[in-house]
Amino acid sequence: MKDRERLTCWIHHSMAVTGGYLGVYALLTRADLFGNAQTCNLIYIITGLFGHDFTGVFLRIVGACIFFAGIALTVVLSKKTSCNLQYFSFTVNCITVLALGFLPSDINQVIGLYPFFFATAVQWNSFPGAYGFASSTIFSTNNLRQVANAATEYWITHEERQKQKAIFFAGTIVCYHAGVAFSVLAYRWFGIPSVWLCYVPLLISAVLLTMDRRLIRSPQPVVCK
């Protein structure tokens, strides 16, 4: 069981690398717009209304609906089908990465975020955390908050669970920003097609997911009493 928990943690951290890679790629290619979350998009809907940019408002509402649909789809799949959400999210990411490399640089910036909105929404619900901790692989704010909370609690109480929590969330942050650094360097070298180098962390995740599947299917050892 501990092996499975550890492997789940590795899978989570590997997907955080992909989350960081795609997050900064969206910023670099879509006029500093973040495609992994909806906070800015929803804010710009309101500012667009006050600025009478109704076309922009419409495009952003569509984007919010796409993000909503990605979240809703994972719920439907988990409740109504036997679909493995992690495999599904991995497949969506692979298709998204392939498609992003072909999007022209002059496409409408909001429309250019649509693939990010869907893929990251699916990833958020498909890789929710490890060790019983809820953690996002597509952005860092809550992970940083959790590190601060857990580290402070461990300093006060010396509870081992809080130490484990702080290490887990810190690891997620490190992996996320390793993906950010890789993406920045790749974009400097290759521009728009650099998104295809995201297949490197995705390949690592594929190996880990395969290991996890084999671990689930392997027979449990018989303990003689």
pLDDT digits (tens, 9 = 90+) for 36-74: 889 989 999 999 999 999 999 999 999 999 999 999 999
Whether 146 shows a pLDDT value over 80: the answer reads yes
**What's the confidence (pLDDT) of residue 66?**
97
Tokens of 87: 């495999």
**What's the confidence (pLDDT) of residue 1?**
57
For residue 133, list its beta bridge partners.
130
Tokens of 81: 């089908």
Is the Cβ–Cβ distance between 186 and 20 less than 8 Å?
no
pTM over 0.85: yes
Is the Cβ–Cβ distance between 44 and 56 less than 8 Å?
yes
**What's the confidence (pLDDT) of residue 37?**
86
Mean pLDDT score of the chain: 93
Whether 224 shows a pLDDT value over 50: the answer reads no
Tens digit of each residue's pLDDT (9 = 90 or more) over 95-134: 999 999 999 988 999 999 999 999 999 999 999 999 999 9
Terminal Cα distance for the chain, rounded: 20
**What's the confidence (pLDDT) of residue 32?**
83
Tokens of 41: 């998009």
- What torsion do the CA atoms of 201, 203, 209, 212 make, to the nearest 10 degrees? -100
DSSP state letters, 90-158: HHHHHHHHHHHTTS-TTS-TTGGGHHHHHHHHHHHHHS-EETTEE--SS-SHHHHHHHHHHHHHHHHH-
**What's the confidence (pLDDT) of residue 220?**
57
